[in-house]
Structures are given as C-alpha cells and as structure tokens.
C-alpha cells in the first residue's frame, strides 16, 4: 500500500535531496518544489498529504505561501511543517499563528524530521475530541462538563482560566501553540489573560498538576504544547 505523498518546498538542492532521500527511505512519495509559486501550483494540481515548507524562498516567501494555503478551503487541512533557520523564532511564531502545525530548525536531524512527519500525519488522522468529551489519560483526567481535573484520582483545584488552558492544550496533544494562540483560545474570566501572563498561568498550572506537570512542555521562544 503506497505511503503518503509529501511536498518539499525548498530551494537549496542539497537540503532538497537530504529531505527527499530520507522520506523515500521511509516509503513516502516525496516531490519537490523550488519556489513558493511552484508549490502553490503543485498543491492546486495534486494536493499532498503534508507539506515541508522552507521560509527563505526566492520570490514568494514561505510565510506568504502558508497564509495562502491556510486561507484556501481546498488546502486548509493539509498539515504544514515549517523548515527554518534556528534564529528565526519570530517567523516560527507567525507561521504557527497562520496555521502551520509544527516546525523544524536548520540544521536538523533526519531522524527528528521523520519523527515529526509521522507525528504530524498521525495527529491529522485522529479526530479532535469535542469540547464536552472527558479526556482520560494515564494519570490525568479532565472533565469539561463537571469542570473537574483529577491527578492520580485526586481532585485538583484549578481556576477557570487554568482549566481552559489545560483543556485547550490537552485536546490537541503534540500541537505547538504560541502564547497568542492560547490567549485567543481561553479568554479567561477570572484573570486578564495576556501573552505575558500565559507564562504565569503555566507556572501555577504545573505546580498544581504535581506528578503530571511534565505533560505541559515549553517550546522555548515559541509557546507550549501538551505531551503527545
């Protein structure tokens, strides 16, 4: 059974070949576009299952490509992994807020690349649970109807905003969210949630979660995610 078709949007030939070779070794059908314009045409003609998108492209930049793809209903649900230089944290944040699912920094490990691709495709295959459905993990349980969280069977007293933050992240494990995305999602009533206060919320939330504190992972310079 053929594996998923993946589009690599990258103008440097050595990186094109490195990514293409490693994807092919895993059985993926990898195709390459050397510019943003070529990528949009490729997606229009033959939509891939996933896109690995460099940000530094000739002509149309990667962020503009991401914006166009995520604003088009036909390509909205194609997951995008940003490929970028390590120093471009601000571009990573913009890309995630435009709708990209994950990112990889250059230089990168082919093993990490493949793991991120597998995880991204796996997440896309799963349905995001409805907001009213309880989430029962190994040690952690989140019940949105009762507005109740338990850790190892013991109830945890969370503020309304802490509960919203935890529930928002837990519904999409493995997804990276910027601080602004978290602010937009939770809009707390008991606390004025701002990008700056998100970090304060996370400190308090981790302290209350105790042995489950490491479920919430900090993505340095970018935001947070719930451990997959």
Distance of alpha carbon 65 from alpha carbon 96, whole angstroms: 13
Nearest C-alpha neighbor of 86 from the set 115, 62, 55, 123:
55
Contacts 24+ apart (CB under 8 A), 128-137: 128/171, 128/172, 129/171, 131/167, 131/171, 135/167, 135/170, 135/171, 137/170, 137/215
Distance of alpha carbon 112 from alpha carbon 77, whole angstroms: 23
Overall pTM > 0.95: no
The runs of H, that is alpha helices, within the chain are 13-25, 36-45, 62-70, 89-98, 110-125, 160-170, 179-186, 195-209
Q: Is the pLDDT of residue 189 over 60?
A: no
pLDDT digits (tens, 9 = 90+) for 101-155: 999 988 899 999 999 999 888 887 776 778 888 899 889 999 999 999 999 999 9
| Domains of the chain from N-terminus onward | 5-125 (3.40.50.2300), 135-226 (1.10.10.10)
Q: What is the mean pLDDT of residues 20-30?
A: 94
pLDDT band with cut points at 50, 70 and 90 for residue 208: very high
């Amino acid at each position: 059974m053929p594996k998923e078709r993946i589009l690599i949007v990258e103008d440097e030939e050595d990186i094109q070949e490195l990514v293409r070779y490693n994807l092919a070794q895993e059985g993926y059908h990898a195709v390459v576009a050397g510019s943003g314009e070529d990528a949009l045409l490729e997606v229009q003609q033959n939509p891939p299952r996933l896109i690995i998108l460099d940000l530094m492209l000739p002509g149309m930049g990667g962020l503009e490509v991401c914006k166009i793809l995520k604003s088009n209903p036909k390509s909205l649900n194609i997951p995008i992994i940003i490929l970028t230089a390590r120093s471009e944290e601000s571009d990573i944040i913009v890309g995630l807020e435009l709708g990209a699912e994950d990112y990889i920094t250059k230089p990168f490990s082919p093993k990490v690349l493949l793991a991120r691709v597998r995880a991204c495709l796996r997440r896309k295959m799963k349905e995001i649970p409805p907001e009213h459905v309880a989430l029962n993990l190994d040690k952690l349980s989140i019940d949105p109807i009762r507005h109740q969280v338990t850790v190892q069977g013991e109830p945890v007293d969370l503020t309304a905003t802490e509960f919203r933050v935890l529930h928002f992240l837990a519904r999409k494990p493995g997804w990276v969210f910027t601080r602004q995305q978290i602010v937009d999602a939770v809009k707390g009533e008991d606390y004025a949630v701002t990008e700056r206060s998100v970090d304060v919320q996370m400190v308090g939330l981790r302290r209350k979660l105790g042995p489950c504190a490491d479920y919430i992972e900090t993505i340095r310079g970018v935001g947070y995610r719930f451990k997959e």
